[in-house]
Chains A and B, each alone.
Chain A
Amino acid sequence: MIWDLYLVMPLALVFIGALFLMLFSLVKQVELTNYNLVTVAFLSVSLIIELIIFQNVEHDYLFETIFAKMFIVDKLSTLFNILFLSGAILTLLINNNYFKSRDYYNGEFFALLLFSIFGMMMLAHTNELITAFISIELASITLYVLVGYNHHSPKSSEAMLKYIILGSLAGVFFILGVALVYGVVGSTYLGDIYSYLIHHQNSDISLLVVGMMFMMVTLLFKIGAAPFHSWVVDVYIGSPFPVTMFMATTLKIAIFSILLRLFLVDFAPIYPLILEIIKVVAIATLLLGSLLAIAQTQLKGMLAASSIVHVGYMLMALYAIGVGSSFAASAIIFYLISYFLSALGAFGILSFLASDEEKRHLSFDDFKGFAHERPYMAAAMTIFMLSLAGFPSTIGFLGKFYIFMSVVETGEILLAGLGILIAFISIYYYFKLIALMYFYPSPNPKKRFPFAISTLLIVGVALMIVWGGIGTGLIPFVAGADGLLTIASEALKTIGK
């Protein structure tokens, strides 16, 4: 019981923090920075406990006598929780300036953000499909509100409108899929579905497969994979910067946490039936995402479209898991971490600029001669772009390398070749920005590097990306990129069936 209470602490802290901030937001004379600091404090304590848990936990169920096996606590869920929490902390701190520069932020914003993180953390712990549905909805309903938070801008409201209609439509597919699975198996626990599939290998399971397909529809929608990717660019452009940042990094990881768990545990016996679909979806995501990214004129839109392409790479690795690659699952987690860092930094710079200057749109042209105006920021932006493109000596390169290796390991040379081709195409739209920053004269005089928590964190993230790329070879005895891969594969071992 005490052990369970200890395991539930991070979740409970985030939830209590959300309730506290909800009530605290009624006190009108509090400054916005204080709300931000309180939120970060709750998240940090939760993160520290989560880090300690990661060392000790193997495979546990939360309050097994009461909740049965609904909530699982293993290294995988803890690792994902660490990612959510650090993502949220970085998002909040980097956007500190941005919050102050806009008048529509208030205490409720932080309460909603915490509720969303609570939903994501529940999602990582879930071992049962209804719990998964409720957590997905908790995470997304709060995000619907956050997307439309800028109530002055019609674009923001429209993004919310699109997101809420398509999101709830997609969510319903998940619940119908669960109903069909429940109809066949008679239980919604992940382990039960697996054992049903193992014991009924010769019987007819089409209804179960249809149910699982419906569930896949929702998950593919939420990560923005190919046939369901049309909302991504509009919603990302329309929502405020902190929310875009949060969605692009943290929400994507959250959905992958349940996708990986489902794929590794439940879908294992029916890989032959669904792998072709995954392959087609991955290829379509890569191609359509690239086309969208090339067509964008706004930087935010380009980052949004390129996030679709990154999902395509991860789906490629998901396919490789099914074909039998040994380290594709850890490659996905590593790629998530590398994308998380790069995208966080890139969006962070955009949001810092948007708060510092009155540039609302931040199109490519706004960056002409940026390197002469702010050399340090431009250098950091270059690092993020290189990492997103997968340039060697950054963490993004290693992420792509592991994914392609896992695909090659399964013998799918053509698929890996397509991935590399797409990576070369992506150089076009990432390097366009770098070229614009360095090869044009600046209209404005040089500015000093502004020392603030946001900028320092951005530089820190940039250093982490470089360290993840080359640090492994240089510094012995310190867990670098390979260490992350080891941690990921260790976490995957505890998943159990």
Chain B
Amino acid sequence: MIELSHYLVVSGILFSIGVVGVLRRKNLLMLFFATEIMLNAANIAFAAVSSYYGDLSGQMFAFFIIAVAASEVAVGLGLLIVLYKKQGTLDLDDLAVMKG
């Protein structure tokens, strides 16, 4: 029997995959992928809890999170184009100059 806790654990695992992705990946595009994974982990948790309580608002929250994620990625992709046009690379080690 699959219970709420299983879903939450799945969401926790997905979330940590995302965290590791952000920490380990060096390509800017991959970083955005990783944050998307983390947002979707939260979506799974919301949908599971929503069906557990029989309360539809949780699923609405998931919609809003998708919309927020999309706008964040749109801004991120815009930045990506600017950086690639200028520097010709998306590797984080080459892009970061300042240190503080």
Contact = CB atoms under 8 A, between A and B. Distances in A.
The answer to A–B direct touch (Cβ < 8 A) is: yes
Instruction: Tell me the interface secondary structure of chain B in the complex.
Output: helix
A244 to B, nearest CB: 14
Contacts of A134: 64, 68
Instruction: Tell me the interface secondary structure of chain A in the complex.
Output: helix
Contacts of A178: 42, 61
A165 B46 contact: no
B98 A145 contact: no
A234 B98 contact: yes
Interface residues of A, number: 40
A35 B73 CA distance: 28
A18 to B, nearest CB: 15
A167 to B, nearest CB: 9
Nearest to B62: A179
Contact of B61 (A130, A151, A154): A130
B100 A172 contact: no
Contact of B95 (A151, A161, A188): A161
B39 A158 contact: no
B100 A233 contact: yes
Interface residues of B, number: 43
Interface in B62-100: 64-65, 68, 71-72, 75-76, 78-79, 82-83, 86-87, 95-100
A178 B52 CA distance: 16
Contact of B41 (A133, A176, A292): A176
Given A172-B35, A179-B45, A183-B49, A157 B86 contact: yes
A238 B98 CA distance: 9
Contacts of A292: 100
Interface in B1-35: 4, 8, 11, 15, 18-19, 22, 28, 31, 35
A137 B68 contact: yes
A301 B100 CA distance: 10
B49 A168 contact: no
A134 B66 CA distance: 11
A164 B42 contact: no
Given A179-B46, A180-B45, A186-B55, A155 B98 contact: yes
A148 B100 contact: no
Most chain A CB within 10 A, of B41, B49, B97, is at: B49
A316 interface: no
Given A154-B97, A183-B49, A301-B100, A176 B38 contact: yes
B14 to A, nearest CB: 10
A195 B50 CA distance: 20
Interface in A274-307: 292, 301
A180 B82 CA distance: 37
Contact of B46 (A168, A182, A237): A182
Interface of A: 130, 133-134, 137, 141, 144-145, 148, 151, 154-155, 157-162, 164-165, 168-169, 171-172, 175-176, 178-180, 182-183, 186-188, 230, 233-234, 237-238, 292, 301
Given A176-B41, A234-B99, 15 more contacts: A130-B64, A133-B65, A134-B64, A137-B72, A148-B82, A154-B86, A162-B96, A165-B22, A168-B35, A168-B76, A172-B39, A183-B8, A186-B49, A237-B98, A292-B100
14 contacts: A137-B68, A141-B71, A145-B78, A154-B87, A161-B28, A161-B79, A165-B22, A168-B72, A169-B19, A175-B65, A178-B61, A179-B46, A182-B49, A182-B58
